[in-house]
Amino acid sequence: MANYTNFTVETDSDGIALVTWNMPDKSMNVFTEEVMNELEQIVDQTTADEAVKGVVFTSGKETFSGGADLTMLQKMLGLYEAKRGGNEEEAMRFLFDNAGRMTWLFRKLETSGKPWVSAINGTCMGGAFELSLACHGRVAADSDKVKMALPEVKVGIFPGAGGTQRVMRLTDPQSGLQMLTSGQNLTPKKAKSMGLIQEIAAPDQLIDAAKAMIKNGLKPVQPWDEKGFKLPGGPVYSAAGANLWPPAIAILRRETFGNYPGAAAILRAAYEGLLVPFDTGLRIEQRYFAQILRSTEARMMIRSLFVSLQELNKGARRPSSVPESKFTKIGVLGAGFMGAGIAFVTAKAGIPVVLLDRDIAAAEKGKAHSAGLMDGAIKKGRATAEQKEKLLSLITPTVDYKDLEGCDLVIEAVFEDSEVKKGATQQTEAVIAADAIFASNTSTIPISALAQNSSRPANFIGIHFFSPVDKMMLVEIILGEKTEDKAIATAIDYVRAIKKTPIVVNDTRGFYVNRCVLRYMAEAFQMVIEGVPPAMIENAARMAGMPVGPLALTDETAIDLAQKIMKQTIRDLGEKAVDPEQFKLINTMVDTHGRLGRKNGKGFYDYPEKPAKKHLWPELKTLYPQQDADSLDVEEVKQRFLVTIALEAARVMEEGIVTDPREADVGSILAFGFAPYTGGVLSYIDGMGMKKFLKLAADLEAKYGPQFKAPKLLADMAEKGETFYDRFNPYPTADKAA
């Protein structure tokens, strides 16, 4: 056998070739151009070698594979765009052929005439699972480290290497569609019950079990290549098919509002593919895949939700001159809901935590929050009693600041009051080492103002979590005027240690995320005042791609908090800083009707006892004269939400609060679910085109007011033909992002 860079091939005395995928210098195996070329050689050589009776394919790493390297797709799209300038037809042929490279390689493998078995030893995603499905046998290790999925829909594309065709021929169509359109993870048990793998083996017997399948006479022919093959769910044109496909289309529309072309393409490729022979089905899939790759949604989602997210998670914004921090002890001040959540995620990362509050009962209650979260995870089978005990043993409740001695980092999450924070800062700095970092989890008070309480402002930084801490994946790191590199690097290292995504933001009122969220809510308040029916406000926001309507979101965060923010803004910036009509609406809700939001069971919604569902407060529409819903343009209502948020993000970039477009985009999706199909706030503008966006903003400004006034930056960018990724290029020393 030839020598390969990414694979080793060893044939045993039974004539079974063991192909082990182990890419050098990579923590995870991924499909690259080189990997596909080598795999094709291996298929050719094992097919031609008479001594080889069958092939077992496995990974030499802890994980099996993460699938295709999507930066390869980005590069391919860049080449396609370049070719379009010359000949559109030639460019499309290039894209179509490249989109089918893995498809036909896997098809070559499954029709090689020799049995292949995939031995799945860890996470097996995307193209790697599609490769496994092309193998004649599939066996997975019995381990909670093994997860199988086709998650492509989450980054705007879909399984385009045979996934839509093989899954739908192996399992019942309802389970198949659900798996393909949601990108859900499958355990070995679930995958076996769906018929996607045949066996589960103990991890140390995985290869033996795979070899045994071949020795026991595994057929080197897939079921769909045999005469008389019948689809698991019966033909498409049957009573069962009639009960499945129309509702499937309706459910997808209900879930996505037509915003995700990749998800719609799954349904089309699966439906059409099941009506024709397998090879034709693969060509249909290839055609849709090439079409989806060209979509703005795919381009933007791949960039933000794959490439940028990975780069930020690896610490793209970390100052490289500072050695990496290893945390031995972390302090959390304040054991309320936020502090308790911060203690939980820290202990979950295996780092000892000191949880301090004014009295021991409050500190103990903060620790009990972690016990409750672990009990919930145990109930769902996601954790064990031993893991709970281990996590709780890492949290030490206390009232004594001396217990913070030896902390590498202390995070303050006390009451939002400057004086309380001042006392906490000074008492902490009296006991921690001179080079330890002090961070505040404030959401409203500027970091530079809080740093004035510190005797070492260079080591003072903001680490802003979102609620609930255990679920929200984004953390804003806020720099004060005097914050230095060591504090930035330590904060990023900490956020990465707790497996969340850090973005770095300069100091401003509301930082980045809250500024955008407040615009979203303010536009909804404006609509309530205009008499837009509340149900239309909520539904249009969700149709625009937001996960939660703005009125429901205000209830979650509390209407009296919105009132407090407005009052504080008036105190700090004067009467004109807050819209008087919106202030009046919020005061009416809180002071007249006692509606504080979800926390007291009544806000813009009513929250009856379960199992009854929340519903909009019927009296809300009596506060203002209502417009006729039929006279309103739903498309325009949707645009108002997206445009007002995007304009605020553009202002944040203009002011230098956020300096990297990757952080603005990823931050907007992870923090408040800004329409993921757009790729984030700035990609929404870039994807639409600056001139078109400016015209839309100007039209909305003329009709609805100054909140839609575009900052000067955008006009300047339009004149120069720039995108945000040109103007604020995050890759100054490399090629620009596609």
Q: What amino acid positions are annotated as catalytic residues?
A: 443, 464, 476, 514
Give the Cα-Cα-Cα angle 717, 722, 727 (nearest 5 degrees).
85
Residue (of 127, 148, 160, 263) closest to 196 by Cα position: 148
Residue (of 198, 199, 165) closest to 180 by Cα position: 165
Integer CA distances (angstroms), 291 to 265, 295, 488, in order: 9, 7, 42
Q: What angle in degrees, to the nearest 10, is found between the helix axes of 360-379 and 337-348?
A: 60
Count the helices and strands in the chain (H runs, E runs): 31, 18
Exposure b/e, 277-307, CB count within 10 A at least 16 = b: ebeebbbbbbbbbbbbbbbbbbbbbbbbbbb
Decide: 269 and 103 in contact? Cβ < 8 Å.
Answer: no
Decide: 161 and 130 in contact? Cβ < 8 Å.
Answer: yes
How big is the chain, counted in residues? 738
Instruction: Kindly give the pairing relationship between strand 116-120 and strand 137-141.
Output: parallel
Instruction: Kindly give the pairing relationship between strand 395-398 and strand 199-201.
Output: unpaired
Distance CA 240, CA 148 (A): 27
Decide: 678 and 654 in contact? Cβ < 8 Å.
Answer: no
Partners of residue 479 on adjacent β-strands: 461, 506
732 cis-preceded (ω within 30 degrees of 0):
no
Neighbours of 692 (CB within 10 A): 12
What is residue 722's DSSP assignment? -
Partners of residue 437 on adjacent β-strands: 409
Residue 328 parent element (H or E):
none
Q: What is the CA radius of gyration of the chain?
A: 28
Integer CA distances (angstroms), 202 to 98, 207, 209, 210, in order: 38, 10, 9, 11
Distance CA 254, CA 694 (A): 31
Tokens of 309: 């997210």
Distance CA 233, CA 191 (A): 17
Instruction: Kindly give the pairing relationship between strand 16-21 and strand 7-11.
Output: antiparallel
SS3 assignment, position 642: helix
Integer CA distances (angstroms), 599 to 52, 191, 340, 595, 603, in order: 67, 41, 18, 9, 9
SS3 assignment, position 5: coil
Decide: 463 and 497 in contact? Cβ < 8 Å.
Answer: no
Is residue 348 exposed (0-12), middle (13-18) or buried (19+ Cβ within 10 Å)? buried
What is residue 354's DSSP assignment? E
Is residue 587 exposed (0-12), middle (13-18) or buried (19+ Cβ within 10 Å)? middle
Integer CA distances (angstroms), 25 to 5, 19, 39, 307, in order: 11, 19, 18, 18
Tokens of 585: 């609406």
> What is the distance of C-alpha 317 from the center of its chain?
19
Give the Cα-Cα-Cα angle 99, 105, 110 (nearest 5 degrees).
135
